[in-house]
Structure 1
Amino acid sequence: MKLSQFRDLLAVVEFGSLRGAGRHLGIAQPVITRSIRELERELGVSLFERHAKGVQLTDMGQAFVRRVESFQSELRRAKEEIGQLKGKMTGEVTVALSTASCMALMPSAVAAFQRRYPDATLKISETLFQPVEADLSDGKIDFWIGPLDQTGISSKFAVERLFDNHRRVVARKGHILADARSLKDLTEARWVRPTLSTRSTEGDFDAMFDRLGLPSPKIVLHARSALITILIVANSDLLTVLPQQWLDFAPMRDLYQALDLIEPMVAAPMCIVQRKGMPLTPMAEYLCDRMRTAAAQYERRQAGTVEL
């Protein structure tokens, strides 16, 4: 197999046709066709199903492409790592962060990274762990940071605990239930469930109600983004449960408030997750270390020990 064949294969996948791949690569379509056929002949399977509007990966093709993408990611990292070890200040880092870690850790870490590597390309996505688990395993993502319940996490991942965590019941400013003292006082309230939050056995607020012998909370809205959650809670009487980091994020403080008389709920700890046994490039390791520094600073602020 040749690297050029992998290049051609991924181009066909991206553009959905042999002609589109050829135009993108500046290569005649018959050359692309021959490249793909040689791959299929060597593998002994069909990688694509041909149809009128282009091509579509077969099941075998999907499996093979996943491996090729992983290989290409590692090859890119290998080249970048050598360049960075030689003093080159360019390259690409791809990370995924939960909403809470975006708010608490990202700003200072990214600022430091950009000062150190002004010509680097940084790709950041906001997500929970499960949607990017496969990409992290395949090497498409350098590392993920967020609240993580480590139960059932694959042994292929290295998990580094940053700090313990908790969540709070949250309402708009001036909410009629702002002085509630317990979940018992909230049995008639209506709730938003943000899908960009971590659910764990100890911290999930459904379980909190159940343990107290209270009716399940009346969830009337499922928010599929941080922005939706923020806007709904800030402009309605709906309540929600959010990580403490959302309340510490300065731009949000005027939009909602924690119900301070209700005990914080235990949540999954904030963690870094990366592939075990596969070192990061110097550039990715620098960003990861800046995230660790930001986490330590955040923890000290929470403990009230930051020196001004």
Structure 2
Amino acid sequence: MKLHQLRALLAICESGSIQEASRILHISQPSLSRSIKDLESELGVHLLVRSNRGITLTVYGEHLLSRARLILAEVRRAKDEIETLKGRTSGHITIGVSPVTPSSQFVNCLARFSARHPKVSIQIEELRPNKLIEGLREGRLDLVLTSHGGVRQLEGFRAVELYLQPGALAVRKGHPQRHLNSLAELRELMWILPDTFEDSPVSKLFSDCGLAPPENVMVCSSLVMYLELALRTDSVSFWSMRHMTLSNLSERLDVLEVSEQVPGFVFSLISREAELLTQAANILAEDILYEFQGNPCANPL
């Protein structure tokens, strides 16, 4: 099994065709097809299926693809590490963030890091919390800033709590039930959440109050559509107070003054153990921890 074969498999799967993959990798289509055939012969299984719908992975291909992503990411990190040992802090760091707007401290930290290390390229990807963890496991992400509720159970990763963003329940301006202040009453309304109910801090709110979940819950991971639905329907929506401030949502939504304590978003920095990160990624991780806690050796969750 060779690296160029894994790169070929990854390029074909991500582009959806051999023609596009050959263009991306700058090799001929016959050479690309031969790489895949040689890999299939070595493994004794078919990895790809060609049909009128395009190219799809077999079950063997799906398992190998996740490993290929991780292997190629490790090769990239190894090259970055060698460059660092040569005295050049360079390389590439991919950071995953939740759609809830990160704090200004995090943004300022990234700006200072980029100014100090101009040869380190930074890529920021916005994904839902579960997708962030998946990207971390597959090696596509180096660092993750997320409000994912299950960070304490992530074996093999280090997770450090950074900050809390207060949360708020809101309804559109002019909502007929905007004066309700009891969770039990609000439970009867339609709800819209950016994550599944089980993954949302709202689930703990209902559980702590001894209430069953709302019966009518819509989940929308698109932030733009989430906003549109919150503004155009009679749904109860869940927001971070920072998001409300930055987007001037308080002019378009009414924050509900409920008697119960509305949960917030606890943000954590998650990564693999320090020895598995490149030096550049370690430097940025320590910068972020120091920014929020004044101590780069903060205790993990």
Normalising by structure 1, we get a TM-score of 0.75
Compared CA separation, residues 244 and 208, structure 1 to 2 (3 A)? farther
Which one-letter code corresponds to 1:135 in the other structure?
Answer: G
Compared CA separation, residues 89 and 289, structure 1 to 2 (3 A)? same
Compared CA separation, residues 202 and 43, structure 1 to 2 (3 A)? same
Question: Is 2:271 the counterpart of 1:274?
Answer: yes
SS at match of 1:66: helix
**Other-structure match for 2:222:** 225
Q: Is the 8 A contact 1:167 1:264 kept in 2?
A: no
> How many residues are paired up?
294
Structure 1 unpaired stretches of 5+? 298-308
Normalising by structure 2, we get a TM-score of 0.77
Q: Is the 8 A contact 1:98 1:196 kept in 2?
A: no
Bigger mean CA offset, 186-195 vs 131-140: 186-195
Amino-acid identity (%): 27
Deviation of 1:161 after TM superposition, in Å, equals 1.8
Deviation of 1:170 after TM superposition, in Å, equals 2.2
Question: Is 2:125 the counterpart of 1:139?
Answer: no
Deviation of 1:185 after TM superposition, in Å, equals 5.7
Deviation of 1:204 after TM superposition, in Å, equals 3.7
Pick the aligned partner of 1:264 from 253, 261, 264: 261
SS at match of 1:265: coil
SS at match of 1:99: coil
Which one-letter code corresponds to 2:110 in the other structure?
Answer: V
The within-5 A match list for 1:100-179 is 100=100, 102-103=102-103, 106-150=106-150, 153-164=153-164, 166-172=166-172
Q: Is the 8 A contact 2:94 2:124 kept in 1?
A: yes
Q: CA deviation digits over 1:115-152, x for unaligned, max 9?
A: 23445432222233322323211211112222232378
Deviation of 1:96 after TM superposition, in Å, equals 1.3
**Other-structure match for 1:303:** none
Q: Is the 8 A contact 2:170 2:253 kept in 1?
A: yes
**Other-structure match for 1:56:** 56
Which one-letter code corresponds to 2:65 in the other structure?
Answer: V
After superposition, the CA RMSD in angstroms is 3.6
Q: Distance in 2 between matches of 1:266 and 1:153?
A: 20
Q: Is the 8 A contact 1:167 1:203 kept in 2?
A: no
The within-5 A match list for 1:193-232 is 193-195=193-195, 199=199, 204-207=204-207, 211=210, 217=214, 219=216, 221-232=218-229
Q: Is the 8 A contact 2:201 2:263 kept in 1?
A: no
Q: CA deviation digits over 1:27-81, x for unaligned, max 9?
A: 3333333322322222222222344676432211221222122111011111112
Which one-letter code corresponds to 1:158 in the other structure?
Answer: R
Bigger mean CA offset, 133-142 vs 117-126: 117-126
Q: Distance in 2 between matches of 1:229 and 1:19?
A: 37
Moved over 6 A (4+): none
SS at match of 2:161: strand
